[in-house]
Structure 1
Amino acid sequence: MSWENFSEKADITKIIRSILDSYPAGSGILRELLQNSDDAKATTQTFILDLRTHPNKKVVDPDLRGSQGAALVAINDTYFSADDWVAISNLHSSSKTADESKIGKFGIGVRACYHVTDNPHFLSNDTLVIFDPHHRFSDGRSGGIKSTLGARERTKWADQLSAFSQSLAPTADGRYPGTVVRLPLRTKEQAPSSTIKPEAVEPEAILSLFRDFVERELSEVMLFLKHVRSITLKTIHPDGREEIFGTAEIKDMDAFALERRQFARTTGARQESFRCTIEVNVGGEVTAQTWRVLHRVSSTEETAKVVRDLVGYDASAKLAHDKLFSHVAVALPVDPIPEDVFNGRLFTLLPLPIHTGFPLHMHAILALTQDRQSLRNIEETGADKQSRERLLVSWNRAIFDKFLPDAWRVLLSILVANKELPDIWSAWPSTPSDKTKYWGDIVTHLLARVIEFNLAVFPTHGNKDKHVPLTDALIASTQSPELLKVLSHVGVTLVKPPVYIFRQLSSRNDMKTRVLHPSRLRAPLQSRISDIEAASEKDKDIVLRYLVTSPGTLDNALDLPLLPSLHGPRVALSRSAQFCLVDSVEGDVFGGSDCNGHLIPLHRLESNVEKVLTESTMSNMKRFNVSNVQKYLEWSAFGKFYPGQDEVGGDEASMQVQWLGKFWPFVGQWSPKNRKRLGVLITHFHLLPTMQETLRKLDKGVFRPIVGSEGSASVEIMAAWSALGVRFLHSDAPAAIIRDFHESAILSPTSISVLLQYVDPNSIALLEEAPASSIRDHIVSILRQSSSHPPLPHRAKEIFLQLPIFPIRIPVLQHTRGKKKVFSQTVFGPATGRLEFLRVDEGYPVPVLEDGAAFFDLTDNSSVHP
């Protein structure tokens, strides 16, 4: 039997090239070098564009003579470990795979250096390594060299080492206190023969890379690093002159904060938070930004459970293999607050080219694509339920659905406790729901965690310095600003989230009862009665309107002192007290008594509130009606007058005259139907005011005022009749309205018969001459207005004849100078007894008649005839 060794062979340059295809050029090169420095626990990082040309005689290999020109140099202040040297020599391998304290994959990411060079140089402590992937070095060195630098080597390769000058100076014993990665830029002469990347790299490309790094990343790149605290970018010009391109430094961080920054995973849940101020100097312009940084990791058990719930099996071993653990960190700018819209970015310690729209940056151990430029495709999970693809997608889901919301809710609590933001809402995600992104439901998940822990992170409306849990507040939305201001002023705890958060809250079953609604406002208002009473009238109107108009019911306003009262402070609506709705006229007329319960003035209510009250079905809430008029009269002075008297006087009666001047116009505005109903109820009340300031019963009547020929009231005539007990309507009372209301209540003063019916016989004897004359003139005027008059009823006729208004001729005996003269004269008196009618001059004497007879003088045509 014969055999020979027959194995696969690999072209190193092609492998490197395939790696480069997954690691894009650009500032990512700087990130890879920086990440490796941080993993090595370096505290400083310097990037140099070295434009000098160094001697090329004493070099490690003649093939390197073309690599002594311009180079990109990266320096840190720590050493390569033995494992690190092994890692960079193994393609597609990393010494950090099992080390969860290091996120970089040293040995793979470092291959990004080949974007700019064919021969990367590494100098650390006393060791020099130079790779030769094209295998062009002399025999024994093909593929690269690693050398411990003793005095002999430093002399032999003096020119080679001179390229590291102004980077790290060796100590007295020849060791280099740190690590230098020198990447000679691929020249135009080298590019055609390179099978890694046949493209020359000009110094301008590195300058562009520096500019991009400074503009986009320098101020933020150290946020989630554990150790690096200072970064410098500079240029060394051909003449050796150094020019600082930009610097960034973490400032004012004490030992305790530095320790928390070096956040390390344990098996249990853990979190650390600190402030981090990064000062950046670019071209002499210094800016500083302070961040609130939070690191959090869930316990191993919780992490395993979360993933198991997603994938359906215990994936702990697979997670460990891929260095996936639930470390999430967030960094929010707090001083100064960004003026422009902040567009958060994803980090895996260092920034990724993935923006989230978050108001913060986020670090997590994410499952990325091979080029580290994107997250794993959310849709590509593979057919096998236990496939690695499905696990990695599920891991990313776990980060954004569980671990990030947990970190974020802790951050909110810290921000509130430290009062680091003027508006905590600015720290919430505002990303719209997007199922194509892992973080598309971040608002939903964050709200769920905040609510689950009942965190007091919600600013109250009107006082953003006070934060409460949602269980202590009502959630406002589109209500008017003036309403929310008033409710806050009277002590109702309100939270008014942004619209997109409100939509999420209102869709949750456990939050629907917390959404501000009139039906949910009554209880908190009942605990703030004194504040309501102290509020302005306008504010009370605003609250009342909201409570009763939105649902169109009064139930929400029960027991709250919000209803305007006609007199005095506002009253609380209840189901036991009586409430009577009055317009302005009704309130003016009947507001002097509370017999009808609380009088609610409609004119002081807004129209929509008035509508709700007037249409209310509450049995104790009624519109003012005829029964209320009756009740008022019964409870007022009118109900106290003796019902057996047709007319009442005195101070109490006199005081009601003015009120009746308002009452009757009010009655006049009512409909005929209401007036008819009212008439049945109030005819027995003394509602007719007279000129004598007395009151007569409505069903007993009163005379319309007598109007003279000039249209003015005949005061003397009415006074004369009044002396006989005849009553005339007070001038303030509207006769027409009263007559329309009760026709017999207003009597005509042109009817002698009716006038005489109301004469008090006992007052006739007391009638003086002047009033009698006025009565006679009035009667004569009535008689002349018509040629026919109905006969007087018997009683009226008797009263009429008793009036001292008739011309009676009486004999007169006059003694003048001893002579007697007999003649007659006419006087006015009653026409009682037997009458003899005569028409002679007064010069003629008349005899004295016996038996009470008298002569009735017909001489004057203006006289009254019986």
Structure 2
Amino acid sequence: MADEVESDDEFDVIVPSLIKQFQNILRRYPDNGQILKEIIQNAEDAGATVVKFLYDDCCHLVDGDDTGGFSHPGLKEFQGPSLFAYNNAAFTKEDWKGIRMIDDSIKEDDALKVGRFGLGFKSVFHITDLPCVISGQYMAMIDPYREYFKPKAAERWGLTDIAAFHQQYKPFLGVFDCSAETFQGNPYNGTLFRFPLRNAGHVQHRHAQPISSNVYDRDSIEELFEAFQEEALLVLLFLRSVEKIEMYRRDHKETKLLFAVEISNIEDVKNKRQQFNSKLPDHLGSLRDSNKELIPLRETYPIILKAENHQNKQKNEQTYLVTTFCSGTIKSQEFVKKTDYVKNIPLVGIAMPLMLNNPQEGVLVSDSDHKTNDENLTASEDSPNCPDPVERFHSQATSHCALPHENAPSVEKKTSGHVFCSLPLPLADSRGTGLPVHVNGFFELTPERSDLQWPTTDDKHTQDKSKAWNQHLLVDVLPCAYKELLFQATKGQGIPVSPGQVISCFPDKAKVDEKWKKIMLSVYVQLFQCNMFYTKAYDGKWTSLDDAVIVNFPDNPALCEAVYEIMLLTEHCPLKLPPFVLDGIQDFHPKKDRLKFVSKEVNYKLVKDCLASHDGYCKFPPNQKFELLRYLLDKLPVAELNGLNLLPLADRTFTTFSSKSSSESVYIAANDMMHLFAGLEKRFLYASDEVIKEKLIQSVKQGEL
């Protein structure tokens, strides 16, 4: 017998049940602190400036209460502990529509909305089976099981209508200015969500097909709060509206403020953001209409973020310098003009951490010795640990302790860059991007919004538009913003930024995550174009690599310092750079062969000429002079050192190299014979260094001295 089939009228696409759709959504969103971020996202999109969370540990159903105070008797089971979320922006008509949309969003094509995928709010179903919201003149509940508002899955009441159900709104009373008057015709000024925590009874009641079997209690909410607090100083960094976030706990006795984070220089930040935002619509319009290169839209400002844990009184503060940047290039215009990219704009942000009032800023500290050169040289000779003067001279002369310099990276360099799509994305690992700055952009994200969409080997023969967009932001737009940030940092922007902090923001190839290394070439090429490098020459200035002499002795800081100082005295423009920046120059500078270096291999004659033209080096510490001598003897015949005050004597002083006709002869004696010439140390060579001694002996034999 033939199989029975449906009639043509019955044949249709099979759509998953509402419960199944919610389950699919929850699979995209982790059950962790990301939930709170999604709630903040909705407040940000609504233009709210304040967000508050409250864990309510109370049960609001008194024994003996009947169910007459509810619109449905089954709602009685949701009067237990809950999580509240408040923001100070009221729902609009579109918001009331959007909250009811499943797997879709009213914000999908709005590029300036954080929640462009529109699904984030649904992550609250990890916590609850019955979210409730009060805003303006209405209260609404969403019931995905269609159990309490049959046949509908949601219900909305006017606040005066719900007044008849006094038990139903009882948990709201006393929470963020919600009172009995709210249900007597006074619109609620803001938006207040309540998420009754799912308990074991709820799961058992819906055991056949629960949206989620997660059970939430006080410990679970505290874990959410703690996870949020760990990165609280980052959350506000790139948002356009939200300025302050607070966390509370309520029990039967009182409501306590647990934690708060805010922008402490909010007026300055507001002004800068408004200046940028006021110009953005016209700039975006020009991107779509213009056929020529546009000047990018950009703004740079400091932002001070302050967090306080009100339980242990611990306070934390971090200052960042932030650049917001919207591209105007022809390539950006081409992307924007494509209808597929209507929801995307070439807008990025970069933030560098600033360490203010740090006396060690920009200083490299030796692990083995914190004394200055002067302290070492004046150590008491009577000290029981002090060696023989000649041995002490040798020790000082050959020590390679790290010396402070203006381009030394910051001592407290701890930032491991985070990725933002207005809000910080979850860290894949503790290392983040490995960049020394935080980056923000209107990136295309994975469905669960945990990472950027990255190209794979399977994409070689396809044109994935989302991944192409991300590559444009990363390789073309972000490096320009990077340059703008550091360039403005060199200008100060009303806040002190040391050279060490600027150089710390150059990417370090050894630390950057493999996926992010693809932007390093573009970033370095941009940075090489500007005066990003500080020198003490000419009373201190920022210079370019093309106009500088790079002093590079990575294994000999004392020699590096000596060469740097003598070049300053002779009106050159020397630079000392950390190894990772030197590596960046070697790897990415398009014309590195034209740059001028002084190193162990090159330009030693330039060093000799500088010494010959200025006697300021005569006052250098002995260890630096000794290293200069080693360096020059390694490359030049001794005869070319005539006139240089670099000949070390046994009395810990130096004299001038002179021709063999000089009447002031200097003698060479074995170290174990020096005691025979007490008081005559000034006439004898400091001869503990065998290499130097042998070179000088050979020079004498050859008639050079």
Q: Same fold (TM over 0.5)?
A: yes
Given residue 93 of structure 1, which amino acid in structure 2 is its aligned partner?
Answer: D
Residues of 1 paired with 2:269 and 2:237: CA distance? 17
The answer as to whether partners of 1:461 and 1:484 remain within 8 angstroms in 2 is no
Instruction: Show the 5 A alignment for 1:846-865.
Output: none
Q: CA deviation at 1:121?
A: 1.0
Instruction: Show the 5 A alignment for 1:659-808.
Output: none
Instruction: Show the 5 A alignment for 1:294-309.
Output: 294-299=323-328, 301-304=330-333
Given residue 223 of structure 1, which amino acid in structure 2 is its aligned partner?
Answer: L
Query: Is the partner of 1:15 in helix, strand or coil?
Result: helix
Moved more, 351-360 or 508-517: 508-517
Q: Kindly tell me the number of residue pairs found equivalent between the two proteins.
A: 580
Q: CA deviation at 1:571?
A: 9.6
Residues of 2 paired with 1:381 and 1:553: CA distance? 62
The answer as to whether partners of 1:126 and 1:176 remain within 8 angstroms in 2 is yes
1:495 aligns with 2:575: yes
Please, which of 29, 32, 45 is the counterpart of residue 26 of structure 1? 32
Give the TM-score normalised by the residue count of structure 2.
Answer: 0.72
Report the CA distance shift for 1:22/1:561 in structure 2 as closer, same or farther (over 3 A). Answer: farther
1:415 aligns to what?
Answer: 489
Residues of 2 paired with 1:463 and 1:235: CA distance? 59
The answer as to whether partners of 1:461 and 1:496 remain within 8 angstroms in 2 is no
Give percent identity, aligned residues only: 22
1:144 aligns to what?
Answer: 154
Report the CA distance shift for 1:319/1:457 in structure 2 as closer, same or farther (over 3 A). Answer: farther
**After superposition, what is the alpha-carbon deviation per residue over 1:87-115, rounded to whole angstroms, capped at 9, x for unaligned?**
22222211222222212137411110110
Residues of 1 paired with 2:306 and 2:508: CA distance? 28
Given residue 124 of structure 2, which amino acid in structure 1 is its aligned partner?
Answer: C
1:167 aligns to what?
Answer: 176
Q: CA deviation at 1:225?
A: 0.9
Query: Is the partner of 1:440 in helix, strand or coil?
Result: helix
Report the CA distance shift for 1:262/1:184 in structure 2 as closer, same or farther (over 3 A). Answer: farther
Query: Is the partner of 2:145 in helix, strand or coil?
Result: coil
1:177 aligns to what?
Answer: 189
1:459 aligns with 2:527: no
Instruction: Show the 5 A alignment for 1:620-631.
Output: 623-624=702-703
Residues of 2 paired with 1:476 and 1:65: CA distance? 76
Q: CA deviation at 1:516?
A: 1.8
1:46 aligns to what?
Answer: 52
Please, which of 100, 121, 143 is the counterpart of residue 89 of structure 1? 100
**After superposition, what is the alpha-carbon deviation per residue over 1:384-428, rounded to whole angstroms, capped at 9, x for unaligned?**
432x2xx33343333333333322222222323223236233333
1:345 aligns with 2:423: no
Query: Is the partner of 1:275 in helix, strand or coil?
Result: strand
Q: CA deviation at 1:125?
A: 0.7
Q: CA deviation at 1:527?
A: 7.2
1:100 aligns with 2:100: no
Answer with 1 or 2: which has the greater Rg: 1
The answer as to whether partners of 2:320 and 2:353 remain within 8 angstroms in 1 is yes
The answer as to whether partners of 1:88 and 1:107 remain within 8 angstroms in 2 is no
2:547 aligns to what?
Answer: 472
Report the CA distance shift for 1:470/1:542 in structure 2 as closer, same or farther (over 3 A). Answer: farther
Please, which of 401, 421, 430 is the counterpart of residue 508 of structure 2? 430
Report the CA distance shift for 1:552/1:429 in structure 2 as closer, same or farther (over 3 A). Answer: same
Query: Is the partner of 1:254 in helix, strand or coil?
Result: helix
Query: Is the partner of 1:123 in helix, strand or coil?
Result: strand
1:504 aligns with 2:575: no
1:254 aligns to what?
Answer: 267
The answer as to whether partners of 1:36 and 1:104 remain within 8 angstroms in 2 is yes
The answer as to whether partners of 1:120 and 1:130 remain within 8 angstroms in 2 is yes
**After superposition, what is the alpha-carbon deviation per residue over 1:570-602, rounded to whole angstroms, capped at 9, x for unaligned?**
999xxxxxx9656989899xxxxxxxxxxxx99
Report the CA distance shift for 1:294/1:602 in structure 2 as closer, same or farther (over 3 A). Answer: same
Q: Which has the higher contact order (CA 8 A, sep 6+)?
A: 2
Give the TM-score normalised by the residue count of structure 1.
Answer: 0.60
1:520 aligns with 2:603: yes
Q: Which runs of 5+ in 2 are unaligned?
A: 1-6, 62-66, 285-293, 359-410, 648-653, 668-682
User: RMSD of the TM alignment (CA)?
Assistant: 3.9
Instruction: Show the 5 A alignment for 1:231-242.
Output: 231-237=245-251, 239=252, 241-242=254-255
1:290 aligns to what?
Answer: 319
1:357 aligns with 2:446: no
Residues of 2 paired with 1:412 and 1:381: CA distance? 37
Q: CA deviation at 1:464?
A: 11
Query: Is the partner of 1:332 in helix, strand or coil?
Result: strand
Moved more, 399-408 or 535-544: 535-544
1:205 aligns with 2:220: yes
The answer as to whether partners of 1:223 and 1:331 remain within 8 angstroms in 2 is no
Residues of 1 paired with 2:253 and 2:539: CA distance? 57
Q: Which runs of 5+ in 1 are unaligned?
A: 306-313, 573-578, 589-600, 629-866
Q: CA deviation at 1:465?
A: 6.5
Q: CA deviation at 1:67?
A: 1.4
Given residue 34 of structure 1, which amino acid in structure 2 is its aligned partner?
Answer: I
Residues of 2 paired with 1:298 and 1:156: CA distance? 56
Report the CA distance shift for 1:298/1:613 in structure 2 as closer, same or farther (over 3 A). Answer: farther
Please, which of 271, 294, 299 is the counterpart of residue 272 of structure 1? 299
